[in-house]
A = this chain, B = another copy of it.
Amino acid sequence: MQPPVEIRDSSEYRRRMNELLTIDPRRTVVVTVDMQNDYLDMELATAPVAPQEARRVIGNSKRLLEFARTEGIPVIHAYVKRRPVEVERGFESHPMVSISQRARVSQNAQAEARKGPDRIEGTPQAELPLELVAPGDVHVTTKRVMDSFHGTDLDTLVGRVFKADTVVLTGINTDTCVLATTFAAGNRGYRPVVISDCVASMRGIDQHWMALEIMSRSIAWVMTIDEFKAKVQAVKTQNPAAAR
Protein backbone atom coordinates (compact mmCIF):
# COMPACT_ATOMS: atom_id res chain seq x y z
CA MET A 1 0.00 0.00 0.00
CA GLN A 2 0.97 3.66 -0.25
CA PRO A 3 1.92 5.06 3.20
CA PRO A 4 -0.51 7.81 4.22
CA VAL A 5 2.46 10.15 4.72
CA GLU A 6 5.41 11.04 2.56
CA ILE A 7 8.53 9.23 3.81
CA ARG A 8 11.46 11.62 3.91
CA ASP A 9 14.94 10.62 2.79
CA SER A 10 17.10 10.42 5.93
CA SER A 11 20.21 9.01 4.31
CA GLU A 12 22.17 12.22 4.69
CA TYR A 13 21.67 12.25 8.48
CA ARG A 14 22.69 8.62 8.68
CA ARG A 15 25.77 9.24 6.54
CA ARG A 16 26.94 12.16 8.66
CA MET A 17 26.34 10.38 11.95
CA ASN A 18 28.26 7.32 10.77
CA GLU A 19 31.08 9.56 9.65
CA LEU A 20 31.29 11.04 13.15
CA LEU A 21 31.60 7.67 14.85
CA THR A 22 34.92 6.09 15.79
CA ILE A 23 34.98 2.53 17.09
CA ASP A 24 37.66 1.21 19.41
CA PRO A 25 37.66 -2.58 19.03
CA ARG A 26 39.05 -2.95 22.56
CA ARG A 27 35.91 -1.34 23.95
CA THR A 28 33.41 -3.05 21.65
CA VAL A 29 31.28 -6.18 21.92
CA VAL A 30 29.09 -7.87 19.33
CA VAL A 31 25.72 -9.08 20.59
CA THR A 32 23.48 -11.43 18.62
CA VAL A 33 19.84 -11.28 19.72
CA ASP A 34 17.62 -14.37 19.39
CA MET A 35 19.71 -15.62 16.47
CA GLN A 36 17.94 -18.99 16.70
CA ASN A 37 16.77 -21.86 14.56
CA ASP A 38 13.21 -21.04 15.51
CA TYR A 39 13.50 -18.06 13.15
CA LEU A 40 16.32 -19.04 10.83
CA ASP A 41 16.19 -22.76 10.08
CA MET A 42 13.53 -23.37 7.46
CA GLU A 43 13.10 -26.99 8.57
CA LEU A 44 12.72 -26.23 12.26
CA ALA A 45 11.39 -22.70 12.53
CA THR A 46 7.96 -22.13 14.07
CA ALA A 47 8.25 -18.38 13.45
CA PRO A 48 10.41 -18.18 10.32
CA VAL A 49 11.72 -15.10 8.62
CA ALA A 50 11.52 -15.28 4.82
CA PRO A 51 13.94 -17.93 3.48
CA GLN A 52 16.07 -15.43 1.59
CA GLU A 53 16.23 -13.26 4.70
CA ALA A 54 17.42 -16.23 6.75
CA ARG A 55 20.16 -16.93 4.20
CA ARG A 56 21.18 -13.27 4.12
CA VAL A 57 21.39 -12.97 7.90
CA ILE A 58 23.17 -16.28 8.48
CA GLY A 59 25.75 -15.71 5.75
CA ASN A 60 26.48 -12.16 6.79
CA SER A 61 26.52 -12.88 10.50
CA LYS A 62 29.02 -15.68 9.97
CA ARG A 63 31.25 -13.15 8.23
CA LEU A 64 30.76 -10.51 10.93
CA LEU A 65 31.36 -12.86 13.84
CA GLU A 66 34.51 -14.31 12.29
CA PHE A 67 35.81 -10.80 11.81
CA ALA A 68 34.99 -9.93 15.41
CA ARG A 69 36.72 -13.03 16.78
CA THR A 70 39.80 -12.29 14.68
CA GLU A 71 39.92 -8.77 16.06
CA GLY A 72 39.50 -9.97 19.64
CA ILE A 73 36.04 -8.41 19.91
CA PRO A 74 33.89 -10.50 22.29
CA VAL A 75 30.85 -12.24 20.79
CA ILE A 76 27.83 -12.55 23.08
CA HIS A 77 24.77 -14.53 22.07
CA ALA A 78 21.67 -13.35 23.97
CA TYR A 79 18.60 -15.51 23.45
CA VAL A 80 15.54 -17.14 24.97
CA LYS A 81 15.81 -20.65 26.38
CA ARG A 82 12.73 -21.44 28.40
CA ARG A 83 12.85 -23.84 31.31
CA PRO A 84 10.03 -26.41 31.03
CA VAL A 85 8.55 -25.19 34.32
CA GLU A 86 8.05 -21.71 32.88
CA VAL A 87 5.93 -23.23 30.14
CA GLU A 88 3.95 -25.40 32.58
CA ARG A 89 3.20 -22.36 34.69
CA GLY A 90 2.01 -20.39 31.67
CA PHE A 91 4.57 -17.61 31.86
CA GLU A 92 3.77 -14.82 29.41
CA SER A 93 6.72 -12.90 28.06
CA HIS A 94 4.54 -10.13 26.63
CA PRO A 95 0.76 -9.80 26.97
CA MET A 96 0.25 -8.83 23.33
CA VAL A 97 2.15 -11.85 22.10
CA SER A 98 0.09 -14.17 24.31
CA ILE A 99 -3.26 -12.70 23.30
CA SER A 100 -2.28 -12.72 19.64
CA GLN A 101 -1.17 -16.34 19.81
CA ARG A 102 -4.18 -17.58 21.74
CA ALA A 103 -6.48 -15.98 19.17
CA ARG A 104 -4.38 -17.47 16.37
CA VAL A 105 -3.83 -14.04 14.84
CA SER A 106 -0.41 -14.16 13.24
CA GLN A 107 2.11 -11.32 13.09
CA ASN A 108 4.29 -13.44 10.86
CA ALA A 109 4.44 -12.63 7.18
CA GLN A 110 5.34 -16.23 6.30
CA ALA A 111 3.53 -18.42 8.79
CA GLU A 112 0.63 -18.87 11.14
CA ALA A 113 0.87 -17.81 14.77
CA ARG A 114 2.95 -20.13 16.91
CA LYS A 115 0.79 -22.92 18.29
CA GLY A 116 2.41 -23.09 21.70
CA PRO A 117 5.39 -22.10 23.77
CA ASP A 118 8.56 -21.54 21.81
CA ARG A 119 12.26 -22.16 22.28
CA ILE A 120 12.19 -24.54 25.23
CA GLU A 121 15.61 -25.69 26.41
CA GLY A 122 16.54 -29.01 24.92
CA THR A 123 14.67 -28.40 21.66
CA PRO A 124 16.57 -27.74 18.41
CA GLN A 125 14.49 -24.59 17.86
CA ALA A 126 16.21 -22.99 20.83
CA GLU A 127 19.68 -23.59 19.40
CA LEU A 128 21.72 -21.24 17.23
CA PRO A 129 22.71 -22.15 13.66
CA LEU A 130 25.95 -24.09 14.02
CA GLU A 131 27.90 -21.84 11.69
CA LEU A 132 27.37 -18.87 14.00
CA VAL A 133 28.87 -20.36 17.14
CA ALA A 134 32.51 -20.71 18.15
CA PRO A 135 34.11 -22.01 21.35
CA GLY A 136 34.99 -18.67 22.99
CA ASP A 137 31.55 -17.11 22.51
CA VAL A 138 29.51 -16.09 25.55
CA HIS A 139 25.92 -17.32 25.88
CA VAL A 140 23.26 -15.37 27.77
CA THR A 141 20.22 -17.63 27.76
CA THR A 142 18.09 -16.07 30.49
CA LYS A 143 16.58 -13.53 28.11
CA ARG A 144 12.81 -13.82 28.58
CA VAL A 145 11.42 -10.58 27.23
CA MET A 146 12.17 -8.39 24.23
CA ASP A 147 14.97 -6.44 25.91
CA SER A 148 18.09 -8.64 26.20
CA PHE A 149 19.30 -6.62 29.19
CA HIS A 150 16.15 -7.19 31.27
CA GLY A 151 16.68 -9.86 33.94
CA THR A 152 19.99 -11.02 32.46
CA ASP A 153 23.67 -10.50 33.18
CA LEU A 154 24.23 -8.77 29.84
CA ASP A 155 24.92 -5.39 31.44
CA THR A 156 27.47 -6.95 33.82
CA LEU A 157 29.19 -8.56 30.85
CA VAL A 158 29.23 -5.48 28.64
CA GLY A 159 30.07 -2.93 31.31
CA ARG A 160 32.04 -4.74 33.99
CA VAL A 161 33.57 -7.79 32.33
CA PHE A 162 34.37 -6.36 28.88
CA LYS A 163 34.34 -2.68 29.87
CA ALA A 164 32.86 -1.80 26.50
CA ASP A 165 31.38 1.50 25.39
CA THR A 166 30.06 0.25 22.06
CA VAL A 167 27.49 -2.51 21.54
CA VAL A 168 27.18 -3.93 18.03
CA LEU A 169 23.76 -5.48 17.50
CA THR A 170 22.55 -8.21 15.19
CA GLY A 171 19.74 -10.76 15.20
CA ILE A 172 16.02 -11.34 15.00
CA ASN A 173 13.62 -9.45 14.91
CA THR A 174 14.77 -6.02 13.82
CA ASP A 175 11.54 -4.42 15.01
CA THR A 176 11.10 -6.11 18.39
CA CYS A 177 13.99 -7.76 20.27
CA VAL A 178 16.76 -6.00 18.35
CA LEU A 179 14.98 -2.65 18.65
CA ALA A 180 14.22 -3.14 22.37
CA THR A 181 17.82 -4.14 23.06
CA THR A 182 19.12 -1.19 21.05
CA PHE A 183 17.03 1.16 23.18
CA ALA A 184 18.24 -0.56 26.35
CA ALA A 185 21.89 -0.24 25.31
CA GLY A 186 21.46 3.48 24.69
CA ASN A 187 19.59 3.95 27.98
CA ARG A 188 22.65 2.57 29.76
CA GLY A 189 24.95 5.00 27.95
CA TYR A 190 26.44 2.49 25.50
CA ARG A 191 26.78 3.43 21.84
CA PRO A 192 24.49 1.13 19.84
CA VAL A 193 25.58 0.10 16.34
CA VAL A 194 23.14 -2.01 14.34
CA ILE A 195 24.52 -4.04 11.44
CA SER A 196 21.83 -3.91 8.77
CA ASP A 197 23.20 -6.99 6.98
CA CYS A 198 22.70 -9.11 10.08
CA VAL A 199 19.16 -8.32 11.21
CA ALA A 200 15.78 -9.37 9.85
CA SER A 201 12.13 -9.58 10.85
CA MET A 202 9.56 -12.33 10.57
CA ARG A 203 7.01 -9.52 10.17
CA GLY A 204 8.31 -8.69 6.72
CA ILE A 205 10.95 -6.60 5.05
CA ASP A 206 8.76 -3.51 5.34
CA GLN A 207 8.69 -3.77 9.14
CA HIS A 208 12.43 -4.54 9.09
CA TRP A 209 13.10 -1.51 6.93
CA MET A 210 10.96 0.82 9.04
CA ALA A 211 12.72 -0.31 12.23
CA LEU A 212 16.14 0.44 10.72
CA GLU A 213 14.84 3.77 9.51
CA ILE A 214 13.58 4.66 12.97
CA MET A 215 16.79 3.60 14.68
CA SER A 216 19.13 5.36 12.28
CA ARG A 217 17.30 8.66 12.67
CA SER A 218 17.82 8.94 16.42
CA ILE A 219 19.03 6.04 18.56
CA ALA A 220 21.62 3.93 16.72
CA TRP A 221 24.32 3.96 14.14
CA VAL A 222 23.03 1.69 11.38
CA MET A 223 25.68 0.40 9.00
CA THR A 224 26.76 -2.54 6.87
CA ILE A 225 29.42 -5.08 7.82
CA ASP A 226 31.85 -3.41 5.46
CA GLU A 227 31.30 -0.01 7.01
CA PHE A 228 31.84 -1.53 10.45
CA LYS A 229 35.04 -3.27 9.36
CA ALA A 230 36.35 -0.06 7.87
CA LYS A 231 35.81 1.73 11.17
CA VAL A 232 37.71 -0.92 13.10
CA GLN A 233 40.54 -0.84 10.57
CA ALA A 234 40.70 2.94 10.69
CA VAL A 235 41.27 2.97 14.44
CA LYS A 236 43.94 0.31 14.18
CA THR A 237 45.81 2.26 11.53
CA GLN A 238 45.73 5.43 13.59
CA ASN A 239 46.49 3.66 16.86
CA PRO A 240 48.34 0.36 16.52
CA ALA A 241 47.81 -0.27 20.24
CA ALA A 242 44.16 -0.92 19.44
CA ALA A 243 45.23 -3.99 17.46
CA ARG A 244 45.43 -7.03 19.67
A151 and B156 contact, CB distance less than 8 A: yes
Note all chain B residues with C-beta closer than 8 A to A89.
161-162
Known interface pairs A142-B153, A152-B151, A183-B147. Does A175 touch B217 (Cβ–Cβ under 8 Å)?
Answer: yes
Interface 9-residue window, one of A2-10, A34-42, A123-131, A233-241: A2-10
Query: What separation, in Å, do the CA atoms of A16 and B151 have in the docked complex?
Result: 31
Q: How many copies does the complex hold?
A: 4
Note all chain B residues with C-beta closer than 8 A to A191.
95-96
A217 and B190 contact, CB distance less than 8 A: no
Query: What separation, in Å, do the CA atoms of A3 and B8 have in the docked complex?
Result: 9
Query: What separation, in Å, do the CA atoms of A74 and B207 have in the docked complex?
Result: 33
Known interface pairs A20-B99, A203-B217, A220-B96. Does A184 touch B5 (Cβ–Cβ under 8 Å)?
Answer: no
Q: Does residue A211 face the partner (Cβ distance < 8 Å to B)?
A: yes
Per the 8 Å Cβ criterion, residues 65-117 of A in contact with B are 74, 83, 85-86, 89, 91-92, 94-97, 99-100, 103, 105, 107, 109
Contact with B along A201-236 (1 / 0, CB 8 A): 001111101110110011111000000000000000
Instruction: Sort chain A's interface into a size bin.
Output: 35 or more
B161 and A85 contact, CB distance less than 8 A: yes
B180 and A183 contact, CB distance less than 8 A: yes
Note all chain B residues with C-beta closer than 8 A to A6.
1, 206
Known interface pairs A96-B220, A100-B17, A136-B85. Does A147 touch B206 (Cβ–Cβ under 8 Å)?
Answer: no
Q: Across chains A and B, which 10 residue pairs bring their CB atoms closest together, nearest first?
A: A145-B187, A151-B153, A210-B210, A95-B191, A142-B153, A180-B183, A1-B9, A7-B206, A91-B161, A94-B186
Could you list 10 A-B pairs, sorted by A, with CB under 8 Å?
A3-B7, A13-B105, A13-B107, A16-B105, A95-B186, A95-B191, A96-B192, A142-B142, A151-B152, A179-B179
B-binding residues in A (CB < 8 A):
1-9, 13, 16-17, 20-21, 74, 83, 85-86, 89, 91-92, 94-97, 99-100, 103, 105, 107, 109, 136, 138, 140, 142, 144-147, 150-153, 155-157, 160-162, 165, 173, 175-176, 179-180, 183-184, 186-192, 203-207, 209-211, 213-214, 217-221
* Given A147-B184, A214-B214, 6 new contacts (CB under 8 A): A7-B210, A91-B161, A96-B220, A160-B189, A207-B218, A210-B214
